[in-house]
Amino acid sequence: MKRTTSLIIIILLTSTLALAQAKPWTFRQCLDTALQRNISVNQSRMSNELNKVSLEQTKANRIPSVSANANEALNVGKNVDPTTNTFVTDAYHSTNFGISSSYNLFNGMQNANTIRQNRLNVQAGESEIEKAKNDVILSITTGYLQVLFAGEILSAAKSQEEATVAQVQRTEKMVNAGKSPESDLLQIKSQQATDNLAVITSQNNLDLAKVTLMQLMDIPITDSFEVEVPLMDETSEEVIQTNEEIYQKSLTILPQVSGASFRTSASMMALKVSQGAHWPRVSLGANFNSNYASSRKQGSSVNPQGYPFFEQMWDNIGQSFSMGVSIPIYSNRQIKSNIDRAKINLITSQLNEQNVKNVLRKSVEQTYTDMKASVRKFEATKLQVAAVEAVYKNAEKKYSVGVMSATDFLIQKNNYTQSLSNLIQAKYDYIFKRKILDFYQGKAIAF
């Protein structure tokens, strides 16, 4: 009975797993999987963790440091008793304990500026994580649309193949009835072979698109992988905003811009840190110590007595407090070289920030122009398909009654097939350009 119950449970779990695996992947699932597994995103996260460690370390530098020390020694021969500063020739052992503390009171604001620099580095790191995520989003969007495009091309190819098969059957009847020459049947069968090759090619392209998407998601390749075909609005819309308006909005929301700005500000702080080395350094110090020596005695020299350990340690307690000032006069040009390097790094960061903005502006302008062109192409292709379809339907009727040759009919059929392919391509080109332009404006990509 137990074995039967276990077998039933295993079968149910296996069936459930199989159904779960067969369920098509939505765009959101593809994207979430890619974001979780992507190496670049995770590397950016780890890099920023190092930035956070550096920030915490610079914050801790504002706290006084404390250290303790202990020493136990066996002294043989002529040595100086550390408790009396006198020479001792007998063997003895000594113990030293100490606690010391130091505090950097002033160092040219280097600590404060380093904290600001590292805090900016952390913010830049967060922006770089978002930039890495955006790269994944764009890649998954491209891969997902490519799968949908390839799937629609395959469906169109299969429809044309089915239509050609029907034409082959109709032509065979006409040839057998003596209404059409046998050459028409050969031409139609040749077209059937061409359509079959188109189906195979489209299937191969779809399989390759699926492999590409699975690789972008960093999951094992499987033949059962399918994506959900969403309902997409195919209504083309003209762009209302100008490219300058879209660019200005993208400057405020895209992470690569804020990341470059944070890097520039961090470089400014690094320059201030280097300049702070010109200032004098003021430090405070404190020390607490005590020692013990077995050679030390108490009482008269005629009748010396032992000096107990804890009593001697208590009596030998010493404290000291200090303040030190260090004034840089000449450091073999190290300070000036550090400042010069910081200035160069600042200029480099500023140039990089400007380059990021320039690249973004060019991308927005290119996508904006492509979007306008794709709208016009999509609308024109719709009109073309409608016209070519009417011609094809008319040719199909003429061929069916034997008043049009197979050659002329196949020309119209191929024109219609090509126009359908052009329409699918124009549709997905428009959808992709629209999604990218929305992305530049901070709108989430969804299907």
Q: What are the tens digits of pLDDT across the range 189-220? A: 999 999 999 999 999 999 999 999 999 999 99
> Where do we find the tokens 């990218």?
436
Check residue 188 and report its DSSP letter. Answer: H
Kindly state whether residues 160 and 235 are assigned to the same domain: yes
Alpha-carbon distance of 48 to 55, in angstroms, equals: 10
Lowest mean pLDDT among 10-19, 118-127, 217-226: 10-19
Q: What is the CB neighbour count within 10 angstroms for residue 374? A: 21
Kindly state whether residues 114 and 229 are assigned to the same domain: yes
Residue 95 lies in a domain: yes
pLDDT the model gives residue 399: 84
Range of the domain at 115: 23-63+106-279+328-440
Residue 119 lies in a domain: yes
Residue 318, SS3 per DSSP: strand
Contact 309, 316 (CB under 8 A): no
pLDDT the model gives residue 348: 97
Kindly state whether residues 313 and 210 are assigned to the same domain: no
Contact 318, 289 (CB under 8 A): yes
Kindly state whether residues 336 and 366 are assigned to the same domain: yes
Q: For the chain, percent helix, then strand, then coil, each to nearest 5?
A: 65, 15, 20
Those residues with Cβ within 8 angstroms of residue 182's Cβ, 6 or more apart along the chain or in another chain: 175
- Band (pLDDT 50/70/90 cuts) for residue 7 is very low
Q: What are the tens digits of pLDDT across the range 416-440? A: 999 999 999 999 999 999 999 999 9
Contact 413, 397 (CB under 8 A): no
Residue 68 lies in a domain: no
- Six-digit token string for 316: 């030998």
Q: CA 382, 386, 389, 390: dihedral to nearest 10 degrees?
A: -170
Contact 434, 212 (CB under 8 A): no
Q: What are the tens digits of pLDDT across the range 148-184? A: 999 999 999 999 999 899 888 888 888 888 777 888 8
Of 267, 299, 327, at which residue does a domain stop?
Answer: 327
Kindly state whether residues 301 and 342 are assigned to the same domain: no
The maximal CA–CA distance of the chain, rounded, in angstroms, is: 149
Kindly state whether residues 201 and 333 are assigned to the same domain: yes
Instruction: For residue 172, give the CATH number of its domain.
Output: 1.20.1600.10
pLDDT the model gives residue 5: 46
Contact 280, 324 (CB under 8 A): no
Residue 445 lies in a domain: no
Kindly state whether residues 185 and 44 are assigned to the same domain: yes
Which whole number is the average pLDDT over 309-316? Answer: 82
Q: What are the tens digits of pLDDT across the range 342-381? A: 999 999 999 999 999 999 999 999 999 999 999 999 999 9
Residue 446 lies in a domain: no
Q: What are the tens digits of pLDDT across the range 241-272? A: 899 999 999 999 999 999 999 999 999 999 99
Contact 416, 393 (CB under 8 A): no
Kindly state whether residues 150 and 267 are assigned to the same domain: yes
Residue 6 lies in a domain: no
Sign of the alpha-carbon dihedral angle for 400, 405, 410, 412: negative
Residue 433 lies in a domain: yes
Helix (H) or strand (E) holding 79: strand 79-81
Kindly state whether residues 171 and 316 are assigned to the same domain: no
Residue 387 lies in a domain: yes
Helix (H) or strand (E) holding 419: helix 406-440
Tally of structural domains, the chain:
2
Sign of the alpha-carbon dihedral angle for 421, 423, 429, 432: negative
